[in-house]
Amino acid sequence: MQHFSDLYWRLDSTTSTNQKVAALKDYFGSVPAQDAACALSVLCGAKQVRAVSTRLLREWAAEAAELPLWLVEESYAHVGDLAETLALILPEQLTNISGTTADHSSLSLSHFMQETVIDLKGKPDIYKRHVVEETWRRLKPRERIVWHKLVTGGCRVGVSRTLVARALAELSDLEPTTLAERMMAATIETAEDFQSLISAQPTSVDGLRPFPFFLASPISGEVHELGSVTEWQAEWKWDGMRAQIVRRSAGISIWSRGEERMNDAFPEIVDAAESLPNGTVLDGELLASLPNNLLPFSMLSRRASRKRVGKKILTEIPSVFVAYDLLEVHGKDIRSEPLAFRRNELLTIVPSAFQRRPAPAGGAVKPKHSDKNINNRLFHSPLVPGGTWDELGCARQNARQRGVEGLMLKRTTSSYAHGRQRGDWWKWKVEPLEIDAVLHYAQAGHGRRAGLHTDYTLGVWDGDQLVTIAKAYSGLTDEELIEIDKIIRSTTIERHGPVRIVKPTLVFQLAFENVSKSTRHKSGIAVRFPRIARWRRDKSPHEAATLSDLKALLAQTTGEQTA
């Protein structure tokens, strides 16, 4: 545990990738494989167990520190990190009731995780509390911070998988890409898993492993600067979830970009993939779609996180897979072939083009029974025709009505690269929608923004009331955040724990990708990917948008109407 805590703090104290890689190498080179496996799953953001709820943990810490709970909450609001707050308030030396001597240096991470995290799952609170208090006694304050994150299932470390792969590659003399691929495919839990990960021999996980995703960059300059339009192919930029379907003799696997297996959430796609020839890997997008109509992203996200999807979901939110690239055909890796070649091959394997659009005014037509025809599951993404950049520009203007985010531009001669390499794949998104909204609640931020009120809840006018339409965090400079924080503090009307209700004075230009109906928000409207475009110091709150402005926007862009 001490080694892992040291690694955590070394990674935290630097922004240099070389130093991070060095810290990772030192760690993985010195700990037993069992611990390495354990650390790797935490570093790679594998789903963690929430062994103890944060509510219980803060109650127990408050008692141990002899502080009222409200004071712990106020401290948390100031610090912005619960694990750190609790470590800071706990007495350094806790009285040792059981009389066992504290010994933390010899604790291996894997044993420690087993004893103090995994074994707690499902145990009664009284047992958990005993282990928690015992563990506090065993750890130094900065180790407690790391453990608090582990035991509440929220340990995120500031390293990318790519960096971890690089460090392990340097340790094992393998190619970083080989490691990246293996890490993606395999679940690494045991010492053997870790040893085979860094072993020179090909491993069994090679059977279902996906390829590292190639990521597009937002286009920065003028599209004309990309050269002749004939060197490019244009596709719609679908608003779904990026995924790879791997169909090999070892089975079928659907991988998310976050490298999670999504077979359970999309069983109908797994069924449909049975029809693919052995040795096929497709790259594309999962979308929610009825046989006639494309459904908004918010519907898709409702099923994506599920372990099991029931009949109701399968009927109401059926999914499709729209493929836009073919990475492996008949067991052969064709990523280095030009895109034009891969696309021809793709069309022979997935012949039907996806042409669905969102429902026109009046709403989507719901099918009476679930759509069993697996031929209606797998499609390829059709090309968007355009002989000139201007024609493509016109097509892009229609993106929102089609329920897509804009255009993708891909160089026809490009190979399928790894990670975000600029130059061959560009996303050319439609300009965001914008309205002016008013700040009515604010909350202190976390991490780097701890202690500053940087989490904003924004509203628009419904008569003389503000109704919430979005929460937004990003888009302002540090200087603006500090200045706005000052205004928030001086215009606070009421405080509810960390949340402040403020007098409406601050107006922000809110940008977002799309609007849709929502039953979750009081306003009846949800905006997609809201962020602050700028602070409108020049506007007074009563000049901000109204709910009817937003409803008009909804009708205009999708044809939908709210009740």
Q: Which residues bind other proteins (CB under 8 A)?
A: 12-13, 65, 67-68, 70-72, 74-75, 78-81, 84-85, 88-89, 446-452, 478, 482, 485-486, 489-490
Kindly state the smallest distance separating residue 31's Cβ from other proteins, in Å: 24
Contact 536/439 with Cβ under 8 angstroms? no
Integer-rounded Cα radius of gyration of the chain: 26
Q: Cβ contacts of residue 227 below 8 Å, gap of 6+? A: none
Q: Kindly tell me which of 61 and 300 has the beta carbon lying closer to other proteins.
A: 61
| Phi, psi dihedral angles at 544 (to 5 degrees) | -70, 175
CA distance 291 to 293: 6
Instruction: Report in angstroms how near the CB of residue 17 gets to other proteins at its nearest.
Output: 16
At closest approach, how far in Å is the CB of 15 from other proteins?
Answer: 9
What lies within 8 Å, CB to CB, of 155 at 6+ separation is 42, 48, 146, 149
Is the CA virtual torsion 401, 402, 403, 409 positive or negative? negative
Ranges of H-type helices in 365-429: 389-397, 399-402
471 versus 489: smaller Cβ distance to other proteins: 489
DSSP H/E element including 50: none
Q: Which is nearer to other proteins, 372 or 448 (CB)?
A: 448
Compare residues 130 and 449 and give the one whose CB is closer to other proteins: 449
Nearer to other proteins, 148 or 410 (CB): 148
Largest CA distance in the chain: 81
Q: Tell me the H-state helices in 66-103.
A: 69-79, 82-89
Per DSSP, 100 falls in state P
Six-digit token pair at 194? 């870790």
Phi, psi of 481 (to 5 degrees): -60, -40
Nearest distance from residue 216's CB to other proteins, in Å? 30
Q: Which is nearer to other proteins, 394 or 482 (CB)?
A: 482
Question: Is residue 195 within 8 Å of residue 36, measured between CB atoms?
Answer: no
Nearest distance from C-beta of residue 502 to other proteins, angstroms: 13
Q: Which is nearer to other proteins, 331 or 447 (CB)?
A: 447
CB of 28 to other proteins, least distance (A): 24
Name the DSSP class of 378.
E
Q: Compute the least distance from the CB of residue 452 to other proteins, in Å.
A: 7
- Write down the least CB distance from residue 74 to other proteins, Å: 5
140 vs 521 by CB, closer to other proteins:
140
